[in-house]
Amino acid sequence: MVTKMSYWDERYNRGRRSSVYEGILKVRERMWAMIPMPLPDHVIDYGCGDTRFWLAGQYCDLTPEYVGIDSSMVAIKWLRDNFRLDAHFIYGDWQVLRDQPPAPLVLCVDVLFHILDDQEHEDTVVALAGASSCYLFLTAHVRNPYPEGACPDYLTFRPVPDLTSLGFTKIKKEVMGPIEMALFLKN
Ligand SMILES: C[S@@+](CC[C@H](N)C(=O)[O-])C[C@H]1O[C@@H](n2cnc3c(N)ncnc32)[C@H](O)[C@@H]1O
């Protein structure tokens, strides 16, 4: 059985990057344009993968405290071996996120639609909100790209969460195809 661990570990073991779709750099540029600047001094990047999103912003040396969390041990080990020594790379899922001191900026880029279990998805959204003391930037679906239920490559339909009851207001959004990039601010 393919689990979230084996899917991503195998992918990274084969030398594949966390995201490969065409035009990714352009998409990343548009995401970065939505992220508040100057960057706060503490950022949590949930589902950081190989930090491709973070590196696309070229801000990796500007943030004193960068915490990357991912449920792929292969990705985390690679990052620990190859990245800045003062960055923190943590292996785990929403339970690890829940235990982090809140950061003024939490990123969750192209992760939610890879969480197949409904309860885990819900727990992750709650933990993301709890981990942010100010901004939360995430990507999710604005419409179902898999109406027939045939999801490719360990994906599923995850609509942009409504974070009102968790104390957040959506202050910016941009839609690209079926994906919405959304920036939330804590009330
Ligand atoms: C498409 S990649 C995105 C990586 C990175 N955010 C980026 O944009 O380059 C998805 C990542 O989410 C991680 N992931 C999937 N489910 C997760 C979960 N429940 N908790 C933490 N990380 C998860 C995978 O291991 C993978 O590295």
Query: Does residue 14 register a pLDDT over 90?
Result: no
* Residue 1 pLDDT level (bands cut at 50, 70, 90): very low
Smallest CA separation from ligand 1 atom 20, residue: 93
Q: What is the pLDDT of residue 26?
A: 79
Percent of the chain with pLDDT over 70: 86
H runs (alpha helix) in the chain: 4-13, 24-34, 52-56, 73-82, 94-98, 118-131
Residue 147 has pLDDT above 70, yes or no: yes
Atom of ligand 1 nearest to the CA of 8: 25
**Number of the ligand 1 atom closest to the C-alpha atom of 72:** 25
Two structure tokens written together for 15? 């030398």
Query: What pLDDT does residue 25 have?
Result: 74
What is the architecture, at CATH level 2, of domain 4-186? 3-Layer(aba) Sandwich (3.40)
HSE-up of 92 (CA within 13 Å, CB side)?
A: 14
Q: Which residues line ligand 1 (CB under 6 A)?
A: 4, 8, 18-19, 47-49, 52-53, 70-72, 75, 93, 109-111, 114-115, 124
pTM, two decimals, is 0.93
How is the chain split into domains, by residue range? 4-186
If one compares 52 and 164, the residue with the highest pLDDT of the two is 164
